Structure 1
Amino acid sequence: MPDPSATGPTGPGGPAGGAPRRRPAQPPPAVATARRAVWRALAAPGGPQAGDLVLVACSGGADSLALAGAAAFVAPRSGLRIGGITVDHGLQDGSAERATAVAGTLRGLGLDPVEQVRVDVGSAGGPEGAARTARYAALDAAAERHGAAAVLLGHTRDDQAETVLLGLARGSGARSLSGMAPRIGRYLRPFLGLDRAAVRSACALMGLAAWDDPHNTDPAYARSRVRAAALPVLEDVLGPGIAKALARTADLLRDDAEALDAWAGRVETEVRGPEGGLDVGALEALPRAVRTRLLRRAALAAGCPAGALTAGHVAELDRLVTHWRGQAHVDLPGGMRGHRTGGMIAVTPSPR
């Protein structure tokens, strides 16, 4: 598919068509870069096909508005339909009016269909986690409603660096430190390789008026503290390029994590017993990185909530394999417990 991201169609002309063609005006470099990033994401193997609908998730911030503007240009030239959705979390005064304004901007860019969806944010996982859960549930529902082949998200390289630092602070493993994937399921993140400043420059150059969410600078939120304090300090102490280096680390760790996940998937049937437990002898023969993945999968399959199952829980399950001293069981979230019986590791509901 030819790259339409930097210029528009040129039309007929030249020696075979009469008058010479006028060369289309070139967009500013930041705008061309944003368009090219969207084109690459949409044109990647396994991406949406001609005629498919793609939705842009837009909060009204500079990153997602730039994404909407770039997608509005690229998608039709790639044979795709482009729509948008804005989610009103209802956490601030005037949020409904802002959502209406964002929806109007998306329609003005030519996106169709455009939806604004109000969600109820719970409390599980803390304020940031609860808002994220509600938002993705709304995006999933909208994609199903409209039959969208993909949903575009406006995360940038700086967002990726913040995610990696937050994972480091929690002592997370490679899967968490690998950050956000450029593509996972229906979700595409075209701007993950672009820095925030370049994306915001593109937004301004497109003439789009962005809204700055005060939550992004509220020190009550861990991500806001990383953005406002931790990353600038690292830049001062270690020199520029920290965000880029952290994002590159995430890419490398993602490759490793995907390879280990694939390994675990290949051997899972070999270590699983007839009753669904995992064979201790087969687990002992595996590298710890593969073994713990299998134990985590077993806990999740049995009903442990993914958000509550920590690396510590999995480490205790692993001790049932490698440091067995007759332990009775390991308590797990969701009212579950892991235990070793007859050379098998099983995760079952805790007795009431």
Structure 2
Amino acid sequence: MTGPDPAVAAVRSAVRRVLLALPRDTTVFAACSGGPDSLALAGALAFEAPRRGRRAGGVTVDHGLQDGSAERARAVAGVMADLGLDPALVRTVRVAGRGGPEAAARTARYTALDTVVSDHAPAAVLLGHTLDDQAETVLLGLARGSGARSLAGMPPRAGAYLRPFLDLDRETVRRACLCMDLSPWEDPHNHDPRFARSRVRHDALPALEKTLGPGIARALARTAGMLRSDADTLDGLAADLRCRAGDDPAEGLSVAELEAAPSALRTRVLHRAALDAGCPAGDLNARHVRELDRLVTEWRGQSHIDLPGGLRGRRRDGRITIGR
């Protein structure tokens, strides 16, 4: 008796490990766009969940960005239901907001998924991101000049969201999809050069592979893992500093506490304080944080620092405040 194709075995094993780590009363959803990666995820979850005594469903999000998206979403829900995922949900969203179409779609999608988690609590959502997606995320962070947290890429788990395939390359996951006799749909946006991730996927990464040799995606993903461990440690220390410096936005942060702290912790606290005050995450960059830091380390009586979202950072009476 022969077993499943090695690719199918790999995706099932990855999902099995995630299921075994979750509490038994958790309803586990596969977030499925109908693409090969998320469809392989849905297939693996549908196979593993009943064998582990777990309740499993699926959810697809209709962003309404293409003609026929509603019909396609219903078709994806039908495929998930045929696999045995119950409930098989469609969530329709309106994509709008700052940060470009990719960021706006992502925000709308996670808002919808958050609602699914809340409605079916306790619940978790599996996402089909692969090792190649992780490498693309790292390259996009490098292009933006982001810090270690951004270069750390996507975590295997963030709250109710889990990514079982981060150690599996895209080729393996897509082979598994085909071996499970699933028919994926390819989103044309994945090949649209207007989108940065598409350019990284189809131009930048292949160019790096050609220039530096194979294995670049795996090396970038490995680097993300190492940086994530460092970033987690620094974020924990920064949280302690934030408590000492003052965590009441109205009162601001103690300059004395910030001055005594290492730069890596101080800038993390200032970045977090700016976000908490209402700075849009997609607009707040290293230059803004550097200027806030100068209010601590190079104070020359500056009146204020302009920040995204119509906010200003000020130093007054030995404290840094951020507000309108």
TM-score range, shorter chain: over 0.9
Structure 2 counterpart of 1:310, one-letter code: N
1:278 aligns with 2:253: yes
Taking the aligned partners of 1:67 and 1:30, their CA distance within structure 2 comes to 12
1:273 CA drift (Å): 8.1
Query: For structure 1, which runs of at least 5 residues remain unmatched after alignment?
Result: 1-23
Q: How many residues align?
A: 323
Taking the aligned partners of 2:258 and 2:228, their CA distance within structure 1 comes to 24
1:70 aligns with 2:44: yes
Taking the aligned partners of 2:282 and 2:2, their CA distance within structure 1 comes to 49
Structure 2 counterpart of 1:84, one-letter code: G
Structure 2 counterpart of 1:331, one-letter code: D
Alignment of 1:1-352 (within 5 A): 25-44=2-21, 48-272=22-246, 276-349=251-324
Structure 1 counterpart of 2:195, one-letter code: Y
Structure number with greater Rg is 1
1:290 CA drift (Å): 0.3
Displaced runs of 4+ in structure 1, greater than 3 A? none
Taking the aligned partners of 1:69 and 1:163, their CA distance within structure 2 comes to 25
The worse-fitting range, judged by mean Cα deviation, of 295-304 and 55-64 is: 295-304
1:150 CA drift (Å): 0.6
Residue 15 of structure 1 is matched in structure 2 by none
With normalisation by structure 1, the TM-score equals: 0.89
Query: For structure 2, which runs of at least 5 residues remain unmatched after alignment?
Result: none
1:119 CA drift (Å): 1.1
Taking the aligned partners of 1:173 and 1:232, their CA distance within structure 2 comes to 24
1:344 CA drift (Å): 1.3
Change (3 A) 1:273 1:152: closer
1:263 is paired with a residue of what secondary structure? helix
Taking the aligned partners of 2:2 and 2:251, their CA distance within structure 1 comes to 63
Change (3 A) 1:51 1:79: farther
Taking the aligned partners of 1:135 and 1:273, their CA distance within structure 2 comes to 30
1:152 CA drift (Å): 0.4
Is the Cα contact below 8 Å between 2:241 and 2:257 reproduced in 1? no
2:56 is paired with a residue of what secondary structure? strand
Q: CA RMSD in A?
A: 1.4
1:334 CA drift (Å): 2.1
Is the Cα contact below 8 Å between 1:50 and 1:78 reproduced in 2? no
Structure 2 counterpart of 1:150, one-letter code: A
Is the Cα contact below 8 Å between 2:28 and 2:55 reproduced in 1? yes
1:84 is paired with a residue of what secondary structure? strand
Deviations 1:43-98 (A, max 9, x none): 23xxx222321111000000000000111111222221000001111111111111
Taking the aligned partners of 2:131 and 2:238, their CA distance within structure 1 comes to 29
The worse-fitting range, judged by mean Cα deviation, of 275-284 and 129-138 is: 275-284
Taking the aligned partners of 1:182 and 1:112, their CA distance within structure 2 comes to 24
Is the Cα contact below 8 Å between 2:28 and 2:123 reproduced in 1? yes
Which structure has more relative contact order (CA 8 Å, sep 6+)? It is 2
Taking the aligned partners of 2:38 and 2:268, their CA distance within structure 1 comes to 34
Is the Cα contact below 8 Å between 1:51 and 1:79 reproduced in 2? no
Taking the aligned partners of 2:221 and 2:278, their CA distance within structure 1 comes to 33
Structure 2 counterpart of 1:312, one-letter code: R
Deviations 1:94-145 (A, max 9, x none): 1111111111110010000111122111142101111111111111112212
The worse-fitting range, judged by mean Cα deviation, of 127-136 and 277-286 is: 277-286
Change (3 A) 1:273 1:147: closer
Taking the aligned partners of 1:214 and 1:226, their CA distance within structure 2 comes to 15
The worse-fitting range, judged by mean Cα deviation, of 289-298 and 24-33 is: 24-33
Residue 8 of structure 1 is matched in structure 2 by none
1:189 CA drift (Å): 0.3
